[in-house]
Amino acid sequence: MKQTVLVTGAHGFVASALIARLSRDDVAVRCSVREGSAEVPSGVQVIANGAIDGSTDWRAALNGATAVVHCAARVHQLHEPTADALSGYRRVNRDGTLALARQAADAGTRRLIFLSSIKVNGESTPPGRPFRGDDRPAPLDPYAVSKWEAEQELRLLAASTGLEVVVIRPPLVYGPGVKANFRAMMKSLRWGIPLPFGAVHNRRSLVCVSNLIDLVLVCLHHPDASGRTFLVSDGQDLSTTELLQRTTRALGRNSRLIPVSERLLRQAFALFGREGLAHRLLDSLEVDIDDTCRILGWQPPLGVDQALVDTVQHYLRSEGRSVGASG
């Protein structure tokens, strides 16, 4: 029988790429959006589910679904008000996820894959101590706390219903169509803006969207995936300096990175009240994917340099340019 997969949050970066991949693989795909419609491949059914919280009715979306990939979430927002922020994240990321899982179990759905976050493990890693899937969680911000609480509720539900739950905790996801800070970085590098990050020696794990989706597809079927938490990355950690250099090379440009000491950079960020940005650019955050690869017999299929080229090419096409074009 042909598998029917429900993907939530169809407007999102990861979900839209997953829907496209499943469609190419001739999987019956259904997707949910909060309201309206979504640009999806031909044959993909779109169902509006309304706002996500503990009272969301997922029954129409779940009807006949053999598996769910839950991508929809209230994501981390910079500079958002802190007053009662946790309750907003809990409403969507914990309560909305649990409502979906309960109704999936009632509908006879076999497996639910929950896209969590590496932030459940923490915000940074010391040298030589990457995060592992069995580490004691240490979420710090409301987004991460809500994701960790959702993971715990899903485990309890799985134990009482038999729903097969798989948790994936990705770090920063990039790839064709990426927005936000990664796109802003490419824009700065494309225009040759000098950046003071020529001497940063941290180590950061990233995952391109195609590698993340490849792991999701494995987790949809693999018998040993159920009940486990998997960390994921490209398998090659980079410093901020190396990431900028490789992205610049993918753009066909010459690097214009100024070697400023990390101590001075942290002082400058603190002066302007941007300590959070300093942590993301200067601290290390490494993940160990050895267990993921061993248990699932999986390896990231795409290398970092090719993933960056693919990302850059998509960005330049969206800007009406080609790789190596001047301007």
The set of catalytic residues is: 143
For the chain, the three-class secondary structure string (H helix, E strand, C coil) is CCCEEEECCCCCHHHHHHHHHHHHCCCEEEEEECCCCCCCCCCCEEEECCCCCCCCCCHHHHCCCCEEEECCCCCCCCCCCCCCHHHHHHHHHHHHHHHHHHHHHHHCCCEEEEECCHHHCCCCCCCCCCECCCCCCCCCCHHHHHHHHHHHHHHHHHHHHCCEEEEEECCEEECCCCCHHHHHHHHHHHCCCCECCCCCCCCECEEEHHHHHHHHHHHHHCCCCCCCEEECCCCCCECHHHHHHHHHHHCCCCCCECCCCHHHHHHHHHHCCCHHHHHHHHCCECECCHHHHHHHCCCCCCCHHHHHHHHHHHHHHHCCCCCCCCC
CA distance linking residue 213 with residue 14, whole number of Å: 8
